[in-house]
Amino acid sequence: MFIRRNIRVGENCIAGIVLMLALVPVGMCQTDPVQEAQPEPQDIPEEIVVYGKKNIVNLRYAVYTAEDNFFAAYNKFNSNDDFDVRCDKVFSISAHRRLRICKANFLLDYERKFAMGWNPNLATVRRKEKLLVEEMRTQVSEHPELLEVFTEMAKAKQDYDSERQGRCARRNIFCWK
């Protein structure tokens, strides 16, 4: 009895497979009347729009890119090489992470001389910082393309800060001072 049952199941399986193979070509040959009425795919322009959540890393990267663009444009229009600004990532021992710092050449020279034991006059450095701010204001007001890049940088920073503050308030990310 056990053997007969297996034979019947096998016969039923074979009959089912034969029927499926016989019906598949019939279904494949039939066309859908809706498909015939549609226009050619090349007539319809393809457009994909994706709306995603703001990524804090991408916003930070946008700030870095905007800063690089602004300081590159500023350095091009600037007449004094001491006021050229460079941005680098440095490791901060107190923060235990890498920070992005943008400094003018005269500040980098001051730090280099200070590390070698020379103690330059701090009042001179403060005076040069004020001159740097005045030079930036002058260059931004004189060159509209520099003003445009500055506006993009300010908007990128504002977007990043507002998203970061919102996430800090909701405790979605670890927030440091």
Q: Does residue 8 fall inside a structural domain?
A: no
Angle between helices 122-142 and 105-115 (to 10 degrees): 160
Q: Does residue 95 fall inside a structural domain?
A: yes
Q: Does residue 74 fall inside a structural domain?
A: yes
Please give the Cα distance from 133 to 77 (Å, whole number): 14
Q: Does residue 11 fall inside a structural domain?
A: no
Predicted pLDDT of residue 32: 53
Q: Does residue 107 fall inside a structural domain?
A: yes
The residue ranking higher by pLDDT, 70 or 1, is 70
Q: Does residue 98 fall inside a structural domain?
A: yes
The pLDDT tens digits of the residues spanning 67-110 come to: 999 999 999 999 889 999 999 988 878 777 788 999 999 999 89
Which range marks the domain in which residue 73 is found? 56-170
Checking if the pLDDT of 46 tops 70, the result is yes
Q: Does residue 7 fall inside a structural domain?
A: no
Q: What is the DSSP letter of 43?
A: G
Confidence of residue 39 (pLDDT cuts 50, 70, 90): low
Count each helix (H run) and each strand (E run) in the chain, helices first. Answer: 6, 2
In total, how many domains does the chain have? 1
Q: Does residue 18 fall inside a structural domain?
A: no
pTM of the model: 0.64
